[in-house]
Chain A
C-alpha cells in the first residue's frame, strides 16, 4: 500500500491555491519510500480513487477558521469530519464530503491514517515550506 500526499486547490483562485504551492515545492524533493505525491486539484469526489489501497494519506489544502492567518494546522480524520458535520454534495464538495462517503463506497481497505495539513490564508513562503515539512513528517511518523 502506498502512502499519498494529495495537494488540493485551484491554481486559478488566489485564496484556494496554497495546497498546490506546497505541491510545487514537494515536487522538487525526493519522496519518502512508498509515497506518492498527487496534484489533486479540484477533483472533489474524484479523489476517492486515490484513497483505495492507500496507507497514510495526507491532504494539503487551504482552510478557513482554524488558526491565525498565515498559520498551518494539522487535523486528523475525526477533526476534519467534526469541523464540517453535515457536508453536502455540490461542485465544491471537498475533503469532508469525500471522507464522509468513503466508508460506504470504498471497494478496498480504508486508508490507515488520514490527515489534513491546512494552510490558513493568506500564506507566505515560510508557511508553504512549513506545510511541506509537516506533510513529509506525517508520512515518516506513520
Chain B
C-alpha cells in the first residue's frame, strides 16, 4: 500500500537557513511542493527617504556573495534616471568586475556546494565514482575544494584592483566609475585573468575554451566526454560521469519558462561580440547592446523582453497592499503575517512575467543567448538538474574571453575618460535590470526631491523560489520538485540536487559564530 506523507519538511542544508521546503509525498514520489522564505527582508523600506545615492552603499550589503551585482543594478537605475551613458572605459571596468564576481560564484557554488552532495555516503556509497568524489569534494579537505578556493580568492583581487577598495566597494557611480587603475594594476588584472583562464581550461574543462565551444549537441557532449582522459577527469567531465549515472538528467524540469534581463552592456568601441549573434534591437532594452541578451523563452522559443510585463504577486506571500498583482514601480513592502487565510506561506513575493512563473540563471541565459548545446539538450530531453548545473559550471567559458578583451581595451584607451560628470540626480524613475550570478536582478527606483521615494528589488531567488500566485501556479523550483522520486525519505538527496541546481540565496546575512558547531538555522545532516 502506498505511503502518503503530507507536509513533509525537507531540510536543504548548505543552501540558506531561511528556506523551508514542504512536500506531499505519495509512495516516495513528491506530489506537491511549497517553498517558503522564512525571513522578512524589507531592505526596500530602509531605502525610502534616504539620499538618492544611498542605494550604492546600502544595497551591496544585501549579499556577501554577489554584492557587486546589487551595486550594478543600483547604479544602472540611477544612470537611467540621469539619462547618462558612462564612457566606454567605465562600462568595460564595470563589466570585468561583475564577470569576476559571477565566475567566482559559479565555481564555488558548483564545487563547494553542489558537488558536496556527491559525497553523501547514504546515497552514493555504491556509486562507482564515490571514492573519487570524496577525494575531490569532501568538505574542507577535498582537493578540488581547496583548489577552487585558492583560485577564486585570486580572481577576487581583480575586483579589489578595479574597485580601489575591498570589500564593499562602491566604485560604480552614476556616470561611470570612481577609480582609475594605473597600467601596472591593469596588467596585474590581466595576469590574474590569464592564469585563471589557464586553470579553468586545464582543470575545469580539461580542454581549451575554443574546443569546448565546439560542443553543440548532446551527441557532441558524449563524444567530447569519450574523446580524452583529460576531458573525463576534468571537473566538467567528472560532473557529467557522476551525474548521468546518478540520474540527474531525469528530474528537476521546472516551468519551462525562462527569463534573463541581460547584462554587460557594450562600449561603443569594442571587439567583443554578443553571445547571441542573431539578436535584434528592441526598444527599451536592446538585445544587440548587451553581451548577454535579455529575453523570455518558453522551451527554446525566445521572445524579446518587455519590462512592463514584470509583476509581483503577493497572493501567497506575507505582504499587504491594495492590489495583489503590481508592477515593481507600484509595489509596496508592507509585511502582513496574520496567516489567517492559510494561503500565505512565504516572505518571498512571486515575480511573474506576463503572468507566468519563469526560472532564471545561467541556463536561462544559454537559451536566450542561443547557445547550441543547451538548446539541443532541452529540445531532446527537457530541462533537468544536470542541464541547469552544467550551464553554471561552463558559464565562465563564455565570460572569460570577453573579460580579457575588455581589459586589453582599457589598457589601450587608458587616457580616455572613465567618468561623465553627473552634478545631481533629478527626480524620476529608473530600473536597473541586470543578470546577476543567480539570474535576473532588478532594482526599481523613484527619486523625488533628491530623495528615494520608492525602491523595489526583485532578486533571482525570488523568481526561482517564488510561492504560488493568484492562479495557484507554482514557482519554478516548486514545480521542479513535482514528480521527483525520493529513494530514501530519510536522506532526500535528490531534492537537494534540484534545489541547489537553482543556486538559491535567500538572505546572505548572518555569519555569527555559535558554540557547538552548526549554525542555528542549518541542519547538519539529512534527518527530518
Contact = CB atoms under 8 A, between A and B. Distances in A.
Is this pair of chains taken from one and the same complex?
yes
Interface of A: 8-13, 15-16, 39-46, 48-49, 61-66, 80, 83-97, 100-101, 104-105, 107, 116, 118
Given A61-B512, A88-B139, 18 more contacts: A9-B511, A12-B509, A45-B153, A63-B512, A65-B514, A65-B515, A83-B517, A84-B515, A86-B518, A86-B524, A88-B13, A91-B505, A92-B508, A92-B509, A92-B511, A101-B140, A105-B149, A107-B150
Interface string B70-96: 000000000000000000000000000
A12 to B, nearest CB: 6
Interface string B153-183: 1001100100000111000000000000000
Contact of A84 (B43, B58, B509, B513): B513
B519 interface: yes
Contact of B511 (A16, A86, A88, A105): A16
B337 interface: no
Contact of A45 (B108, B160, B508, B517): B108
B510 interface: yes
B64 A89 contact: no
A101 B149 contact: yes
A91 B515 contact: no
A86 to B, nearest CB: 6
30 contacts: A8-B511, A11-B61, A15-B512, A42-B508, A42-B509, A42-B511, A44-B64, A45-B108, A46-B153, A49-B156, A63-B515, A64-B515, A83-B514, A84-B515, A86-B517, A88-B139, A88-B524, A90-B14, A90-B113, A90-B522, A91-B505, A91-B508, A92-B17, A92-B510, A92-B521, A93-B511, A104-B149, A104-B150, A105-B149, A107-B150
A89 B522 CA distance: 11
Given A42-B61, A48-B149, A49-B156, A94 B511 contact: yes
B157 A49 contact: yes
B153 A48 contact: yes
A84 B515 CA distance: 6
Contacts of A45: 108, 149, 153
A17 to B, nearest CB: 10
Nearest to A18: B512
A88 B62 contact: no
A8 B14 CA distance: 21
A105 B154 CA distance: 11
Interface residues of B, number: 50
A100 B140 CA distance: 7
B118 to A, nearest CB: 14
B516 interface: yes
Contacts of A15: 510, 512
A79 to B, nearest CB: 10
Contacts of B140: 87, 97, 100-101, 104
The residue in B507, B512, B518 that gathers the most chain A C-beta atoms within 10 A of its C-beta is B512
A104 B141 CA distance: 8
Contacts of B113: 89-90
A43 B168 CA distance: 8
Contacts of A42: 61, 63-64, 67, 508-509, 511
Contacts of B15: 90
* Best-buried of B150, B505, B521 by chain A (most CB within 10 Å): B150
Nearest to A49: B153
A96 B513 contact: yes
Contacts of B4: none
Contacts of A94: 511-513, 519
Contacts of B166: 46, 49
B16 interface: yes
Nearest to A45: B149
